[in-house]
């Protein structure tokens, strides 16, 4: 709780985002790179959503979750990238207090939702490989819908908990955020209030969402690996592994970069490292996900070929 002296100080109503202003000579280059990444992210994920929607061969639980992941990625990257791109050529990269808190709320909601969704996708792969004869019965449309809605609701309430804690903090200056978006660790560093309670909440949520989701993934893949090793043919093992490799790659990148930022203690020396890691999980991963899931996926390639033939025939 803020002391009387702290309450008497001027309340901060807006913040300055440093962004990448420490590289003034690279402004145009960095803007071009991030704009290209953002446009490709939106285009590729939208393309994947449309492809899955249009091709009846892809109307399965696996691609249902993949289309939802693509939509979440578009929302996720759009919570930070447009403001970052707009600020590149602004002399004063300002954002209001409420704009800052709402940006973090939406960013956190989509991030936590993606954690839960990746765990649901791991369970889907477990059901497909370990119980192929019962797969359709296990992963019913109702269960898929419940898992998707549950992921969204869980992500929303997890982020709402952080938002309530954040709104209890008092900011009396300085108001300079050494980041390209309003991330919670940097906001806590600027607060005049005692942030211990919010730090505990953040750590608990990171453990619950991050480690619990990772645990579901590891248990699922433990059973998957055991089942794959029992397959007699090398071709069968390779096919089964390929259906899981993309998801495992996406999980590793997302959880690895996020855990580095939110579980490692923040300090002045680590801010640049955190900013780089944040670029990976806020901008790069949403762009890579559709590629990771599509490049080695024969069903996606076949659907693309069918779509091309339908268009140009």
Q: What is the CATH number of the domain that holds 164?
A: 1.20.1070.10
Provide the domain limits for residue 9: 4-312
SS3 252: helix
Longest Cα–Cα distance in the chain? 75
User: pLDDT tens string for the chain (313 positions)?
Assistant: 444 444 445 588 899 999 888 888 999 999 999 999 999 999 999 999 999 999 988 999 999 999 999 999 999 999 999 999 999 988 888 999 999 999 999 999 999 999 999 999 999 999 999 999 999 999 999 999 999 999 999 999 999 999 999 999 999 878 999 899 999 988 998 999 889 989 898 888 888 887 888 889 999 999 998 998 888 877 777 777 777 888 888 888 888 777 776 666 555 556 667 787 788 889 999 999 988 888 768 888 888 888 877 777 6
Structural domains counted in the chain: 1
Exposure string for 254-288, b = 16+ CB within 10 A, e = fewer: bbebbbbbbeeebeeeebeebbebbbbbbbbbbbb
Cβ pair 203, 263 in contact under 8 A: yes
């Amino acid at each position: 709780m803020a002391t009387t002296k702290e309450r008497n100080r001027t309340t901060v109503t807006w913040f300055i985002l440093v962004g990448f202003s420490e590289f003034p000579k690279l402004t145009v280059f960095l803007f071009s790179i991030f704009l290209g990444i953002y446009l490709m992210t939106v285009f590729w994920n939208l393309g994947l959503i449309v492809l899955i929607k249009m091709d009846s061969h892809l109307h399965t639980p696996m691609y249902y979750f993949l289309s939802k992941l693509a939509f979440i990625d578009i929302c996720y990257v759009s919570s930070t990238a447009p403001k970052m791109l707009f600020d590149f050529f602004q002399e004063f990269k300002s954002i209001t207090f409420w704009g800052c808190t709402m940006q973090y709320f939406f960013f956190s909601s989509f991030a936590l939702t993606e954690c839960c969704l990746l765990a649901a996708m791991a369970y889907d792969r477990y059901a497909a490989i370990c119980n192929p004869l019962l797969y359709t019965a296990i992963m019913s449309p109702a269960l898929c819908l419940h898992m998707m809605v549950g992921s969204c609701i869980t992500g929303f309430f997890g982020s709402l908990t952080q938002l309530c804690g954040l709104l209890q903090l008092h900011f009396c200056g300085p108001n300079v955020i050494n980041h390209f978006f309003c991330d919670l660790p940097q906001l806590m560093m600027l607060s005049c209030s005692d942030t211990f309670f919010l730090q505990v909440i953040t750590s608990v949520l990171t453990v619950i969402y991050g480690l619990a989701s990772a645990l579901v993934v590891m248990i699922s893949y433990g059973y998957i690996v055991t089942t794959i090793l029992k397959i007699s043919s090398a071709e069968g093992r390779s096919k089964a592994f390929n259906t899981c490799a993309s998801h495992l790659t996406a999980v590793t990148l997302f959880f690895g970069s996020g855990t580095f930022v939110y579980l490692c203690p923040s300090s002045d020396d680590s801010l640049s490292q955190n900013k780089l890691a944040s670029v990976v999980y806020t901008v790069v991963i949403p762009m890579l996900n559709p590629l990771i899931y599509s490049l080695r996926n024969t069903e996606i390639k076949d659907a693309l070929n069918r779509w091309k033939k339908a268009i140009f025939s």
